[in-house]
Structure formats: C-alpha cells, structure tokens
Amino acid sequence: MPRLTEEFYHRPCVQVARDLVGKVLVCGGRRMRVSQTEAYCGEADTACHASKGRTKRTEVMYMPAGTVYVYLCYGMHWMLNLVTGEEGQPEAVLIRACVEAPGPGRLTKALGITGALNRTSALTGESLWLEDDGFVCGVSAHKRVGIGYASQADQDRLWRFVLEENAADSTENPVCP
C-alpha cells in the first residue's frame, strides 16, 4: 500500500484532517483505519497549542509537513498529531480515533505510541506512518471537543471530521449535523 506523501500533508490542515479520515494508520506492525480527526490551525486558532507562539513544546508544529507530534495530556494520555501545511506555520491534525480504538488516548495506548515518536517523520520514518488503501467513505464535519479554553468563534469551527459508516457509496462531503 502506498504511504501518504509529503504532498498530502503539505496542504492546509483542515483539508488534510478531512482527507485523513478513512486512511490507514500503521505503527508497530499494526494497522488501524482512522475514523476521526481534528484540525489545529496556526497561531490565529486559539484552540491550537501554538496560539501563544513558539515554545519548547510547540516548536515541533513549526517543522515540515509530515512530522509526528506526540504529547502527554492529563499526565497519562499520549496524543498523536501530524504536522501539516507550510514549514514555519504551526498546523497539525490530531488523530482522535480509529475504527478499532475510539478516543485519542486509547488509540495511542493500543498502538504503543509514546513521546519517543515525537518529531519523527511519517514520510521516511520506520515507526509510524499512514497509507491510502483506496477506501472511500463519507465524512461529516463537527465542532471540536475539549477546547473550552478557546474563543467562542474557534470553538464553533467545524474542524472535527468523522467517518460516516453508512455512507460508503458517497464521496461527497461534508455532511453537517
């Protein structure tokens, strides 16, 4: 199966987030289909970690598209993201769920993903990457969750994308709730 290339990630994070739904996440010899993503889009997005600028934690988001960003949340859950867009611009897509593992923390636990993968490349690295197996599906757009600290306008953005199981014949999107 073809691995997703630099060109796939080198686009605005909202587009990448939408297109990542239905792709196959490969890690540690295991494969899981991505069923839910969220876009975090630059310093202007108050929900984005980098909205307050570049810090030791967020500088990975300024790296080239296709870089893996993993961080620990609530002291026990690793969150998996992929850097997108232009280098120097802090954009990333959070992998929120796979068909086999709902929830961002459960997903990383199931695949054994930890901070050791932070800053590795999903383009050339041997640990983690994504593939396109030709699967097509419907995708719906929703509000992001868990970002109560963000501005109301940013909370209202439909930057969460969910796989529509019963719309396999549809390549049209998004379908809004």
Partner DNA sequence: TTAGTGATATCC
Partner DNA sequence: GATATCACTAAA
Amino acid at 95: I
Interacting stretch for DNA, rule CB under 7 A, among 14-22, 71-79, 152-160, 165-173?
A: 71-79
Task: Find the binder of DNA among 2, 74, 169, 176 (CB under 7 A).
Answer: 74
CA distances 14 to 42, 114, 140, Å, are 11, 25, 13
Interacting stretch for DNA, rule CB under 7 A, among 16-24, 98-106, 124-132, 158-166?
A: 98-106
Q: Classify burial at 38, counting beta carbons within 10 Å of its beta carbon; exposed 0-12, middle 13-18, buried 19 or more.
A: buried
Q: Classify burial at 103, counting beta carbons within 10 Å of its beta carbon; exposed 0-12, middle 13-18, buried 19 or more.
A: middle
Residue 48 is a binding residue for DNA (CB under 7 A): yes
Residue 58 is a binding residue for DNA (CB under 7 A): yes
The CB-of-164 to DNA minimum distance in angstroms stands at 20
Residue 105 is a binding residue for DNA (CB under 7 A): yes
User: H or E segment at 101?
Assistant: strand 101-102
Task: Find the binder of DNA among 68, 130, 147, 163 (CB under 7 A).
Answer: 147
Q: Which letter does DSSP use for residue 67 in this model?
A: B
Distance (Å, whole) CA 177 – CA 167: 14
Interacting stretch for DNA, rule CB under 7 A, among 45-53, 121-129, 153-161, 162-170?
A: 45-53
Q: Which letter does DSSP use for residue 4 in this model?
A: P
Amino acid at 136: V
The CB-of-15 to DNA minimum distance in angstroms stands at 16
Residue 34 is a binding residue for DNA (CB under 7 A): no
Instruction: Write out the residues near DNA by the rule CB under 7 A.
Output: 38, 40, 47-49, 52, 55-58, 61, 69, 71-77, 79, 81, 92, 94, 103-107, 145-149
